[in-house]
Structure 1
Amino acid sequence: MFLTIAHRGDPLVHRENTIPSLRSAVDKGANTLEFDLRLTRDGRIVLLHDGGLGRMWGRDADIADLTFEEVRALDGEYEVPAFEEVLDAFGDTTFLVDLKTDDVIAPAVAALRRHGDAFERSIFVAARRGGREALIGLRAEAPDAVIGLDWTEERPPPAELLDAMRPQYFGPRWKVADAAGVPAMRERGYRVWVGPLDDETEVVAALEYGVDGIVADDISSLLRLRADAGTS
């Protein structure tokens, strides 16, 4: 399956990492939802990219300093979703789960395992400082986890990192795809996505290049261009 990965849902239409944003992306045809997980002060898992609430929610506070009840009172138009709400709402969608802190990993894995086949439908990434070490730890604790290695460097990933993490997916930025050795990684059995992409010429080029998925903010554009390209 080619992964049409909706980056934080459909953020050009709804606020990122909210249920309406995720629902809009799925309704348009996205088969994979990318979102970010963090913990509130009282240990609830919520969807939020930034540690602080200022950019998206207009509150000068960190998510880790607020209870879930306080977070729910932030905005009347949208709500910061609890992870459980997402698991209940999207029962047959692939998840690309970005683990933004080390302390969210264990409870997120536990929540996914409790929800039917949600764990099997999930790909874990950690696009942050210390994320690679966190994913190596996840591999040790959950040998059956599906892991994606986010990659920004202009060199292929070293063998020792791949051996320790054992990712199934490789996710370089498009601008380093050649330098990161995408063809060689695919020949070695890794599935490859690129992105996030927001330029249509880059999406077309990535489709022609031959990848297994694309991450995009404009999911409508990605789906249209993929249909035009006839990508299977």
Structure 2
Amino acid sequence: MAPLVFAHRGSSADLPEHTLAAYLRAIDEGVDGLECDVRLTRDGHLVCVHDRRLDRTSNGTGRVSTRTLVELEALDFGSWHPGCPPADGAEPPDATHTRLLTLERLLDAVLAAERPVRLLIETKHPSRYGPQVERRLVALLRRYGLAEPGADDPVRITVMSFSPLAVRRLHELAPALPTVLLMDALPRWPRGRLPAGARIAAPGIALVRARPRLLPALRAAGHQVYVWTVNEPDDLQFVLDAGVDGIITDRPAHALARLGR
């Protein structure tokens, strides 16, 4: 069975990561799913930003967690990227390429796609807000009717984290949601078994290349395996040969083309 293809922060090789434009491009390209990171603002909103600090992906500075949503909305989150169209004279920049993306706006866009889309949501830790990140996330998903997936639901949510504690907490808050443990080092748990609450393993491509016994061990323990971030042709062929269940990539169109889709 062919693996699922997930757009890592949207089609982020071509467009600014975590912008609405990047996610809409990925949906148009035909991905199976999208991946996003979420952080809490000072006033309790979930926003799609990877880094703890604003410096790399916006024209702001400082930590995301110290800013309110209104303050973050005033920043430009896209002009740093070569794929962001320049402002045309008096015309303002295209907001879909530069505006902060909240998780609510992303959920609205995914629901509006009117086709099956999986959404991988990574909760970022460590965070000054600790368990509030998962609590706010589950509350928002319940409001959208997405915390208890049904067989016919077009939008399916899976929650991920590098923190085993966060994964376990999420599983306790919303037992019906699939959970993924992200991995950038060999796990401490024996024989490929994941800790309580984690259903799917997601090692990085560097780890699975360095530790060839890892994928067979995870599969033997009964876990599905997603691999991130698979961008290069050789890495894509490697994970396809390994028979992984999901590919997380900045270049989803290339992965889909390789799969003949």
Give TM class, smaller chain: 0.7 to 0.9
State the 1:68 CA deviation.
0.7
Cα pair distance change 1:186/1:72, threshold 3 Å: same
Q: Following the alignment from structure 1 to structure 2, what is the Cα–Cα distance between the partners of residues 151 and 43?
A: 27
- 2:159 pairs with 124, 146, 150, which one? 124
Is 1:80 the counterpart of 2:100? The answer is: yes
Is 1:106 the counterpart of 2:139? The answer is: no
Using the size of structure 2 for normalisation, the TM-score is 0.79
State the 1:94 CA deviation.
0.6
Q: Following the alignment from structure 2 to structure 1, what is the Cα–Cα distance between the partners of residues 260 and 168?
A: 36
Give structure 1 stretches of 5+ with no counterpart.
Answer: none
Percent of pairs with identical residues:
30
Cα pair distance change 1:65/1:176, threshold 3 Å: closer
Structure 2 letter corresponding to 1:117? L
- 1:164 pairs with 161, 181, 196, which one? 196
What is the SS of the residue equivalent to 1:182?
A: helix
Retained in 2: the 8 A contact 1:32–1:93?
yes
Retained in 2: the 8 A contact 1:155–1:180?
no
How do residues 214-229 of structure 1 correspond to structure 2 at under 5 angstroms? Answer: 214-227=247-260
Is 1:71 the counterpart of 2:72? The answer is: yes
Cα pair distance change 1:173/1:204, threshold 3 Å: same
Structure 1 letter corresponding to 2:7? A
Counterpart for residue 173 of structure 1: 204
Counterpart for residue 175 of structure 2: 143
Counterpart for residue 207 of structure 1: 240
What is the SS of the residue equivalent to 1:14?
A: coil
Counterpart for residue 4 of structure 1: 5
Task: Show CA shifts across 1:94-126 (max 9, x none).
Answer: 111110143321111111122133653111111
Per mean C-alpha deviation after superposition, the further-off stretch among 138-147 and 208-217 is 138-147
Measured on the aligned residues, the alpha-carbon RMSD in Å equals 2.2
Q: Following the alignment from structure 1 to structure 2, what is the Cα–Cα distance between the partners of residues 7 and 196?
A: 7
Q: Following the alignment from structure 1 to structure 2, what is the Cα–Cα distance between the partners of residues 15 and 113?
A: 29
Retained in 2: the 8 A contact 1:10–1:21?
yes
Retained in 2: the 8 A contact 1:4–1:31?
yes
Larger Rg: 2
Structure 2 letter corresponding to 1:136? R
Give structure 2 stretches of 5+ with no counterpart.
Answer: 77-92, 150-155
Cα pair distance change 1:160/1:183, threshold 3 Å: closer
More helix by share: 1
Retained in 2: the 8 A contact 1:96–1:122?
yes
Q: Following the alignment from structure 2 to structure 1, what is the Cα–Cα distance between the partners of residues 117 and 243?
A: 23
Q: Following the alignment from structure 1 to structure 2, what is the Cα–Cα distance between the partners of residues 25 and 160?
A: 32
Cα pair distance change 1:175/1:160, threshold 3 Å: closer
Q: Following the alignment from structure 1 to structure 2, what is the Cα–Cα distance between the partners of residues 116 and 155?
A: 34
Using the size of structure 1 for normalisation, the TM-score is 0.88
